[in-house]
Amino acid sequence: MEWVPVAIWECTRMMKRKDFVIATLLIPLLMGGVVFTIGWIKTREARAITKIAVVRLTGGGDSSATAGEISMPLIKGFEWNTPPAGERDSTSLAAAVRKGTYAGAVVIPGDFAEGGRVWVTVRSRSPEWQVRLRDGLLAEARRQRAAAFGLDTASLARLDRPLVMSQRLANPAVRSTGADRVASGVIVMLLITALFTTNSYMAIGISGEKQARVTEVIVSAIRPQSWIDGKIVAYTVIGLIQFVLWGGTLVAILLMSGAVPPQAIHPGALVTDLAFAGAGLCFYVALWAMVLATIKDLMSSSKFQAYLLFLPMAPFAFLESVIRSPDAPWIVAMSLIPLFSPMLMPARLTLGAAAGWEVAVALVLLAVAAWLMRIAGGHAFRIGMLMYGKEVTLPELWRWAREK
* CATH T-level fold of 49-153: D-Maltodextrin-Binding Protein; domain 2 (3.40.190)
pLDDT score for 61: 47
Residue 174 pLDDT: 57
Contact (Cβ atoms closer than 8 angstroms) between residue 56 and residue 140: no
Are the C-beta atoms of residues 190 and 250 closer than 8 Å to each other?
Answer: yes
119-122/104-108 β-pairing? antiparallel
* pLDDT the model gives residue 264: 66
- CA angle, 82 as apex, 81 and 86 as ends, to 5°? 140
Strand partners, 121: 105
Output the pLDDT for position 402. 61
Q: Is the pTM of this model over 0.75?
A: no
Walk across the sheet containing 104-108 and list its strands. 78-81, 50-56, 104-108, 119-122
**Quick one: pLDDT at residue 66?**
42
**Burial category of 359 from C-beta neighbours within 10 Å (exposed 0-12, middle 13-18, buried 19 and up):** buried
Q: What is the pLDDT along the chain (404 residues), one digit of tens a residue?
A: 778 888 888 888 888 888 888 888 888 888 778 777 877 887 777 788 889 998 888 754 445 444 434 567 677 788 888 898 888 888 999 999 999 899 999 998 888 888 888 899 998 887 888 888 888 888 888 888 888 888 888 888 888 888 888 766 666 555 666 777 888 888 888 899 888 888 888 887 777 676 666 666 666 667 878 888 888 898 999 999 989 988 888 877 777 766 656 666 778 888 899 999 999 999 999 888 887 777 766 555 555 666 777 788 888 888 888 888 888 889 999 999 998 999 999 888 888 888 888 999 999 999 999 998 888 877 777 766 555 555 555 566 666 556 55
Give the pLDDT confidence score for residue 69 in this predicted structure: 45
Angle at CA 393, nearest 5°, toward 392 and 396? 85
For residue 367, what pLDDT is reported?
A: 93
- Would you kindly state where each structural domain of the chain is located, as residue ranges? 49-153, 176-402
Provide φ and ψ at 78, rounded to 5°. Answer: -110, 145
Q: What is the pLDDT of residue 276?
A: 93
Q: What is the pLDDT of residue 310?
A: 78
Specify whether the CB–CB gap between 119 and 106 falls below 8 A. Answer: yes
Where do the DSSP E strands lie in 44-86? 50-56, 78-81
> Which candidate, 317, 285, 323, 42, places its Cα nearest to that of 184?
323
pLDDT of residue 278: 92
CA atoms lying within 13 Å on the CB side of residue 184: 26
